[in-house]
Amino acid sequence: MGSHGVSIMTWLLKNIVGVSAAAILIVGTVSVFSSRPSDAAGDVQAGKAKAAACVGCHGANGQGVAPNPRLAGLKEDQLIKDLNDYKSGKRDNAIMKGMTSSLSSQDIENLAAYFASLK
């Protein structure tokens, strides 16, 4: 192969590698975004119904009642993490441990979707 053949091979390698890297980047990005907890299948209406138990401490619209924090508008994935941490005991709060102990994973996703939807 002459110098012309080498330049074609170089061009092919650069372009194929570039295309492959772009494809990997796109596929990797799609898989990262599709596996985020914030894409959880939380049902806002089911979360609203379940949130009746939260009103006394966190307000009718999740705005918070001092000294309890606001939940409205927080990120869904953060709410899921926090509720799971209270349920597991990783976060130590006797009231929240009791409130979360009977929640299923779906309940937690629903509550997170509901509070995240509030402004």
DSSP letter, residue 69: P
CATH number of 41-117: 1.10.760.10
- pLDDT of 22 over the 60 cut: no
User: Which tops the pLDDT comparison, 21 or 65?
Assistant: 65
Q: Which residue has the tokens 């939260």?
A: 54
Amino acid 111: pLDDT: 98
Distance (Å, rounded) from C-alpha 102 to C-alpha 97? 9
Amino acid 36: pLDDT: 42
- pLDDT of 33 over the 50 cut: no
Q: pTM of the predicted model, to two decimals?
A: 0.67
- Tens-place pLDDT, residues 70-106: 999 999 999 999 999 999 999 999 999 999 999 999 9
- Amino acid identity of residue 26, one-letter, is I
- Tens-place pLDDT, residues 36-80: 444 557 999 999 999 999 999 999 999 999 999 999 999 999 999
Q: Are 44 and 114 in contact (CB under 8 A)?
A: yes
Which string of b and e fits 54-86 if b means at least 16 CB within 10 Å?
beebbbeebeeeeeeeebbebebeebbbbbbeb
Distance (Å, rounded) from C-alpha 53 to C-alpha 48? 10
Amino acid 41: pLDDT: 79
Q: What is the mean pLDDT of residues 97-117?
A: 98
